[in-house]
Homo-oligomer: A and B are copies of this chain.
Amino acid sequence: MFFHDKRTQYTVRVDKPDPQFARLLQQAIGGIEGEIRVCLQYLFPAWGNRGPAKYRDMLLETGTEEISHIEMLCTAVALNLEGASGGVIDHIVTANPVVKEIMGGMDPRHYLSTGLAAMASDANGVPFNGSWVVASGNLAADMYANVMAESTGRVLATRLWHSTEDPGMKDMLSFLIARDTMHQNQWLAVSEELGGIKGVHPIPNTFPQAEEPGEFNYSFVSTNLDRPANPGARWTQGTSVDGKGEFKFVHGAPMGEEPKLSPPIPEGYAQAEQMRSKDDSSSSTGSLL
């Protein structure tokens, strides 16, 4: 069960409101790198967690923290949009072309749809999409999903930090960047406990590798038409990173045949010209005529 304290986790201060920066901040709220995603991406696998409970607990605690980050960012958007009050919106009635250009720069829905508040969308107004919430049921895979989310999230936060000179916003973003540092480390710590790279890979580690055809699972398949020689890269020779195989370098080549499908079934209502014998329906080399 969840509870709330009316104060924010960290100070949210905007010294000079900037409606265009409000738009940029939306990426960190409703974008694929944003906080709604990480919040749900920690809570959903926690609620479906099967296995050691300590990882569920950790996911729940940090998932809860992320709601607080959404709260901070939405507050920051609302405060930045107050710059529209004495600025952009007032001037719209003047049909001043310069002001209109600024309107182009802010998200028009921040005025039209919300009356100066945050939305569950990204910096282009594209809504948050639940498909981004990855929770595979495999703890190691989910930890990578989390490290990835915190990595792209921290990259985004540093770019936002770079995009403003407002001291309040820089301060808030520094805090969020610091939290991303910790969260990257947290999920890595779980991976370490699960055995580190050699222990967790290949993910899932419960599938019997004997079922994998051995000539393919540690071979770099080059699809380069130059047919280069083995470049001796880390991934083309030596022991595999997971310690379970030897890297090889092979030139890609088709091992299958040209597919042969049956002719259309009558009730599929293809064109009459498609209704041919099965033999006709596949091509051989040179059949293009």
Contact = CB atoms under 8 A, between A and B. Distances in A.
Given A2-B67, A115-B268, A228-B286, A125 B128 contact: no
A226 to B, nearest CB: 6
A129 B177 CA distance: 27
B129 A127 contact: yes
A136 to B, nearest CB: 5
A52 to B, nearest CB: 7
A155 B141 CA distance: 8
Chain A: number of interface residues, binned into ranges: 35 or more
A225 B5 contact: yes
Contacts of A40: 36, 120
B268 A137 contact: yes
B64 A206 contact: no
Give this chain's copy count.
6
Contact of A3 (B5, B62, B194, B282): B5
A181 B217 contact: yes
A4 B118 contact: no
Interface in A1-36: 1-12, 16, 18, 20, 23-24, 27, 30-33, 36
A136 B113 contact: yes
A5 B64 CA distance: 10
Contacts of A245: 181, 185
Contact of A192 (B107, B180, B207, B241): B241
A112 B181 contact: no
7 contacts: A61-B220, A65-B252, A120-B131, A126-B131, A129-B130, A147-B148, A185-B202
Given A3-B4, A48-B78, A127-B129, 5 more contacts: A2-B71, A48-B116, A50-B78, A124-B124, A174-B212
